[in-house]
Structure 1
Amino acid sequence: MAQRVILHVGAMKSGTSYLQRLLFLNRDRLADQGVLVPGNAWPDQVRAVSEVLERKRVVAAPPEGAWQGMVDEIGAASGTAVISMEFLGPAAAAKIERVVSSFPTGTVEVVVTARDLGRSIPAMWQETLKNGRFLPYDEYVAAIADRDGLGRRFWREQDVAGICERWSAAVGVDRMTLVTVPTPGAPSTLLWERFASTLGVDPAGFAEPGPTNESLGAASAEVLRLLNERVEGMAYGEYARKVKQQLAKRVLAKRRGEEPGVGYEPSPWLRERAGQLVEQLRGSGIRVVGDLAELTPLAVSGARPGGLPPEEQLAAAVAAIEGLVRASGNGKSAD
């Protein structure tokens, strides 16, 4: 049995996709340093975690025994094993206990990565769009301030102090680590270097993944939002394949350099809430890798999607149609 089982539980939009791709890209190098990344590919971890958490909104139902299969793979290993899945972060206490109790007492350690809320808000709004929601951006920001509707969901997934509190209740504060996401302008490998320290590996020489889970420009995001209103009710599996993966990630994401991004200027209420979170974390006794000052909300330059000129939305919509036509014409995904 692995002597250490590290659960990287999120938070969402805190460099998780980058770290997950890096882990699987470098599985052999990690194995040489005594770290197992279970599963043949990251979707195996998605399916396993989806099963143990009993998630309903999935592309396809995970095969029965997916979680136990991963537990067994870790059980046959030695050294350190790492599972990285941001769905774990907002889990309720009962499901956290189910996950932790799958492994021998004292083996589980939890890593939480956290990014400042200023950058998280526009990123999380886009994540709702990529999963079929269509709340306008300004209304989404207001819902976060009011903790209403999708705003409540935002705080379940972004209240890192709450996430740390729930998980530390199950594993103990001494087995918790918070890794802060560096601010813009920091070396591109710094997040990996910080995360690697939680695994106990030398971060040098690891292959870097390509762009991961790229954000959309403001016009493309608004086009996606308007489309979601019209395809509401589509089965999630079909939506994920046709809209999330094909249109959003493979077509619209390519326009990111051609249009302004989604902007956000932190409001006083957000700065106050972020300050409260930092104080909670500082007083929790949880180990911090990085600097809690990096959780101070940052402004994000860009545009308000709802205020864009119609011609910008039209350009994004035409580009979306072109991308889909070209993909269907050659019988391949719009890569």
Structure 2
Amino acid sequence: MAAGAGPQCIFVHVGLPKTGTTFLQGLLRKHRAALRDSGVWYPDDGHRDHFFAALDARGDHVFAGGVRPAAQGAWPRLVRLAMDFDGTVLIGHEILATATADRAQDALAAFDDAEIHIVVTARDPARQVVADWQESVKHGRQHRFSQYLRHAGLLGGERTDDAKRPAPFRAQRLTEVLNNWGSGLPTGRVHIVTVPPAGATPHLLWQRFASVVGIPEPSRYLPGHDVRPNTSLGVADIEVMRRVSAYLDGRLVTTEFGAVAKDLYAQQILPRVSTTRPPAPPEVLRPRLEAIAEEWISEIDERGYDVSGSLAELRPRWTEGSRAPDDWEPNEVIDTATAATAELLLEVAQLRRDASARRRTEGTARRLLDAARHPSAMIRRRR
């Protein structure tokens, strides 16, 4: 494809969070060169380009309690990259789901007269409500699931929402996101990709997503072991993470917390030692979640949006014997914390070995460099 003529169409993937977005982004990033050769460009020079652009688009450069200066002007920069490609362009990040209607329309207006498509990946609200709470704990929130539900307005009452701390579940309100981003677009250019039920191969989500965007031969890009979806934590694991965040009590700056507490501890260490199953919503919440699912399905069906997958997959599937998120045993939490501590010690030991090996290598390199610069001095030393 020749550059400079402008895109044929632009697909903006606006979430929802916890619908396989990390998995899809990993595939797009890994294969971006091959995809560009086939006429589909994912303009991403660094793994946070779309993240910062999304923060800028929603008009809020704060994420997980920290200001992200790199977000300033990031959306116009990404738009300029997109508009310089003659083909199909795909951009987006799940936090775009939190943009207000005004911010969403301003973001789309930056593409001038390009043909814009909105893509929303959606999953049943029963899985989403637990995943959304769990993700908030990974980011340092210390609320129990019952507290999360009250703040989200899912157990009666009004949801708690303000500019500094949006209400829980806000980014999961599917019809609100569709209205914010899809208003003014032909319904055929608003695409919903349903996430397959639990246990389905992640390849199916990729194939559905690729068919919407128009990626040729999507099976060429099927994921390997290096592209994995986020792992859900068990009931004891997430309680340990919640308590660890409380003990840290803000002593890690935002970037340190993200790298050490979330990416290492929550994403790697805890899944490694997990012995409890991921939780499910308590029975008292089931009628509310079933009603939400029916609202979603009815709205999408009435509006005539394009659907890849099946709207029936948005209805919750209940598994008998599942445990609620706050239903953990003290001994499970103790065992998980102990095992995670042992894994962390092993991790620290490996880091020390790696650092020692680097120091030895650097010392050898310095001696060789000195010898090359001052050969006569080295000869005198040997004498």
Tell whether the structures are fold-level matches, with TM greater than 0.5.
Answer: yes
1:200 maps to 214
Which residue is equivalent to 1:297? Answer: 316
Mapping for residues 154-173 of structure 1, pairs under 5 Å: 154-173=168-187
Structure 1 pair 135–217 and aligned structure 2 pair: CA distance change class (3 A): same
- How far is the alpha carbon of 1:185 from its aligned partner? 4.2
Structure 2 Cα separation of the partners of residues 319 and 32 of structure 1:
47
Are the counterparts in 2 of residues 100 and 170 from structure 1 also a CA contact under 8 Å? no
Matches of 1:254 and 1:211, distance apart in 2? 15
Q: What are the superposed Cα offsets for residues 155-183 of structure 1, whole Å, 9 maximum, x if unpaired? A: 42111111111111143433211111111
What secondary structure is seen at the aligned counterpart in 1 of 2:78? Answer: helix
**Comparing 121-130 and 58-67, the one that deviates more:** 58-67
Question: When the two structures are superposed, what TM-score results if normalisation uses the length of structure 1?
Answer: 0.90
The CA distance in 2 between the partners of 1:207 and 1:197, in whole Å, is 13
Given the two structures, how large is their TM-score scaled by the length of structure 2?
0.80
Structure 1 residues not aligned, in runs of 5+: none
Per the alignment, residue 160 of structure 2 pairs with 149
Q: CA RMSD in A?
A: 2.4
Q: Secondary structure at the match of 1:6?
A: strand
Give the length in aligned residue pairs: 332
How far apart, CA to CA, are the structure 2 residues paired with 1:83 and 1:278?
26
Higher relative CO (CA 8 A, sep ≥ 6), structure 1 or 2? 1
Give 1:310's aligned residue.
330
Identity %: 29
Q: CA deviation at 1:305?
A: 4.3
**Residue 263 of structure 1: CA displacement?**
2.5
- Superposed, 1:116-135 pairs within 5 Å as 116-135=124-143
Query: Which shifted more, 77-86 or 302-311?
Result: 302-311
Q: Note if contact 2:122-2:195 (Cα within 8 Å) is conserved in structure 1.
A: yes
Match of 2:9 in 1: 4
**How far apart are the structure 2 equivalents of 1:269 and 1:47?**
34
How far 1:298 sits from its partner (Å)?
2.0
Task: Work out which of the two has the higher radius of gyration on C-alpha atoms and give 1 or 2.
Answer: 2
The question of whether the paired residues in 2 share the 8 Å contact of 1:117 and 1:297 is answered with yes
2:230 counterpart residue number: 213
Matched, 1:263 2:283: no
The 3-state SS of whatever aligns with 2:119 is strand
Q: Secondary structure at the match of 2:279?
A: coil
Work out which of the residue numbers 65, 76, 79 in structure 2 matches 1:71: 79
Report what 2:356 is aligned to.
none
Question: What amino acid does structure 1 have at the position aligned with 2:90?
Answer: V
Q: What is the deviation of 1:66?
A: 2.8
Unaligned runs of 5+ in 2: 1-5, 353-383
Match of 1:328? 348
Which residue is equivalent to 1:96?
104
- Following superposition, the deviation at residue 63 of structure 1 comes to 5.6
Q: For residue 245 of structure 2, what is the aligned residue in structure 1?
A: 228
Q: Is the 8 A contact 1:126 1:221 kept in 2?
A: yes
Q: 1:100/1:270 Cα in 2 relative to 1: closer, same or farther (>3 Å)?
A: same
Give runs of aligned pairs for residues 23-42 of structure 1, distance below 5 A.
Answer: 23-42=28-47
For the Cα contact (< 8 Å) 2:9–2:89, is it kept in 1?
A: yes
1:57 is the counterpart of 2:75:
no
Question: Bigger CA drift: 145-154 or 130-139?
Answer: 145-154
Does the 8 A contact of 1:219 with 1:308 survive in 2?
A: yes
Q: Is the 8 A contact 1:49 1:88 kept in 2?
A: yes
- 1:255-287 per-residue CA deviation (whole Å, 9 max, x = no partner) reads 34x322223356112212221221111111211
Structure-1 separation of matches of 2:200 and 2:240: 32
